[in-house]
């Protein structure tokens, strides 16, 4: 069982959008970064816990909790000529991009990026590092416990 932080632009899929989807589940398609892909393909397991992070918005930060609800499988959008995620180099036999499904667990009182930065216990978090752009990052179990114990208010 691992812990992750996954970024989503709320204008794309917000924590409330996720809560209202069928099965409260979304296919995490469209990741086109190799490191993020490798995390999904090689390390994520069904049941892994996810901090659902709102990025590129007025108050960036953790907006909810989710879980990985499927193993990684080929991202369908790479084969779709009409998708902005179409990849001409990907084939059905050798897919290049993968995604998992992510299921809503709960919405929380948002924990802003500024709030996260206030805690020395979290200073190692990838999302707090300068210049960080990776949309999927592992979360240390100690960091996860700290966040749940001290920062999550339902």
Partner DNA sequence: GCCAACGTTGGC
In the complex, which residues of this chain contact DNA (CB under 7 A)? 7, 9, 32-35, 55-57, 60, 113-114, 129-135
The least distance separating DNA from the CB of residue 140, rounded to whole angstroms, comes to 19
For 35, the enclosing helix (H) or strand (E) is: helix 34-38
Q: Which of 23/42 has CB closer to DNA?
A: 42
Which class for 64: exposed (0-12), middle (13-18), buried (19 or more C-beta within 10 A)?
buried
Q: Which of 47/57 has CB closer to DNA?
A: 57
The least distance separating DNA from the CB of residue 46, rounded to whole angstroms, comes to 24
The least distance separating DNA from the CB of residue 48, rounded to whole angstroms, comes to 19
Find residue 98's DSSP bridge partners: 74
CA distance 64 to 56: 16
Q: Which of 6/72 has CB closer to DNA?
A: 6
Cβ pair 78, 69 in contact under 8 A: no
């Amino acid at each position: 069982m691992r812990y992750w932080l996954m970024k989503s632009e709320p204008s794309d899929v917000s924590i409330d959008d996720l809560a209202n989807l069928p099965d409260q589940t979304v296919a995490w398609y469209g990741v086109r970064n190799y490191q993020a892909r490798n995390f999904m393909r090689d390390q994520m397991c069904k049941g892994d816990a996810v901090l659902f992070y709102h990025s590129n918005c007025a108050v960036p930060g953790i907006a909810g909790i989710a879980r990985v609800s499927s193993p990684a499988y080929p991202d369908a959008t790479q084969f779709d000529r009409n998708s902005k995620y179409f990849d001409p180099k990907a084939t059905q036999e050798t897919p290049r991009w993968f995604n998992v499904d992510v299921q809503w667990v709960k919405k929380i009182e948002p924990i802003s990026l500024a709030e996260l930065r206030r805690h020395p216990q979290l200073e190692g978090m990838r999302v707090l590092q300068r210049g960080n752009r990776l949309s999927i990052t592992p979360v240390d179990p100690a960091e996860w416990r700290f966040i749940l114990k001290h920062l999550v208010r339902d």
